[in-house]
Amino acid sequence: MIEIFTTGGTIDKVYFDALSEFQIGPAAIPDLLRENNVHVPHRVTQLMRKDSLELDDADRAAIRAAVEASDASRILVTHGTDTMVLTGRVLAGIAGKTIVMTGAMQPASVRASDAEFNVGFALAAAQILPPGVYIAMNGMIFDPATTEKDRAGARFVAQDRG
């Protein structure tokens, strides 16, 4: 069983009308999984509906508490990309759990979104990686401790520690 926690972020953004900007809508992941015929045992829990730039220390503590309290050893967290690395660092040190974080650079509701690929990739990663915290984006697995978001490149990159 994979426990999926949703927190909001771009992956869940939708237009509510033609005059509005994107806003966080309902969690996109249940529809993504159903539409893509995913049968891996899972449950989805929506923790919050926030842009990751609006997440604060209390929100990150709530995410960590939910992951710690889960009876699942394999966890997927959908999260906004702007502060995903920061939350990943907060999740470090939870023993016995494989925690994979993912999100999207474009909302799941738009045709050119990377959401479907990232979610599928993250689900696979959650099933095969050893315990630890990971970011699964852009077809790559990253360690939050040594990763940053490259805003200009719209991707994640490992930091040069040399």
Q: How is the chain split into domains, by residue range?
A: 2-13+43-150
Beta bridge partners of 110: none
Give the tens place of pLDDT for each residue, 67-87: 999 999 999 999 999 999 999
Q: How far apart are CA 156 and CA 145, in angstroms?
A: 12
CA 37 to chain centroid: 20
Residue 54 CA neighbour count, 13 Å, CB half: 10
pTM for the full model? 0.90
Q: How far apart are CA 73 and CA 56, in angstroms?
A: 25
Place of tokens 């759990």: 97
- For residue 99, give Cα distances in angstroms to 3, 7, 57, 107: 10, 14, 19, 22
**Host H or E run for residue 115:** helix 115-128
| Average pLDDT over the chain, rounded to an integer | 90
Has 20 been labeled as part of a binding site?
Answer: no
Identify the CATH number of the domain defined by range 2-13+43-150. Answer: 3.40.50.1170
Has 82 been labeled as part of a binding site?
Answer: yes
Q: How far apart are CA 46 and CA 5, in angstroms?
A: 6
10-residue mean pLDDT profile of the chain (162 residues): values are: 93 65 75 89 94 94 98 97 96 97 86 89 97 96 94 86 57
Q: What is the DSSP letter of 82?
A: S
